[in-house]
């Protein structure tokens, strides 16, 4: 299992919309996440930063993320959520959600 932590900004004027969208995530989007071996997925908010955490239980994260990006329901979902977000200053080239370094783990 691989732990993934990421961060992105939420546009302050879109915060209520972003919260509302996540009160009713389409089942097709949730199903695609499960099909891509993603579990224990959560998103947290502090100020204008969103922090996401999920556990990946597959063998090829890049392939599963590519399959997710090719999924029509996920693409429609991203059309709703992406305008609510913006990259953080620490984002690398090509990053949308920016990976975070794990510095501590207690199991």
Instruction: Count Cβ atoms below 10 Å from residue 19 Cβ, excluding itself.
Output: 12
7 within 8 A of 88, measured Cβ to Cβ: yes
51 within 8 A of 5, measured Cβ to Cβ: yes
Q: What is the mean pLDDT of the chain?
A: 97
The domain locations on the chain are 2-99
Instruction: Count Cβ atoms below 10 Å from residue 36 Cβ, excluding itself.
Output: 21
Q: pTM (2 decimals)?
A: 0.91
CA pair distance 70, 75, nearest whole angstrom: 7
CA pair distance 102, 78, nearest whole angstrom: 26
pLDDT tens-digit map of 5-26: 999 999 999 999 999 999 999 9
Instruction: Enter the CATH code of domain 2-99.
Output: 3.30.70.1090
Band of residue 53 on the pLDDT scale cut at 50, 70, 90: very high
């Amino acid at each position: 299992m691989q732990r993934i932590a990421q961060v992105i900004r939420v546009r302050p004027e879109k915060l209520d919309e972003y919260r509302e969208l996540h009160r009713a995530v389409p089942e097709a989007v949730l199903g695609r996440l499960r099909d891509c071996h993603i579990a224990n997925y959560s998103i947290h908010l502090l100020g204008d930063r969103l922090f996401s955490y999920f556990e990946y239980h597959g063998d090829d994260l890049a392939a599963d993320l590519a399959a997710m990006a090719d999924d029509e329901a996920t693409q429609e979902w991203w059309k709703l959520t992406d305008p609510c977000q913006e990259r953080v200053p620490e984002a690398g080239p090509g990053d949308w959600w920016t990976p975070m370094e794990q510095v501590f783990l207690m199991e």
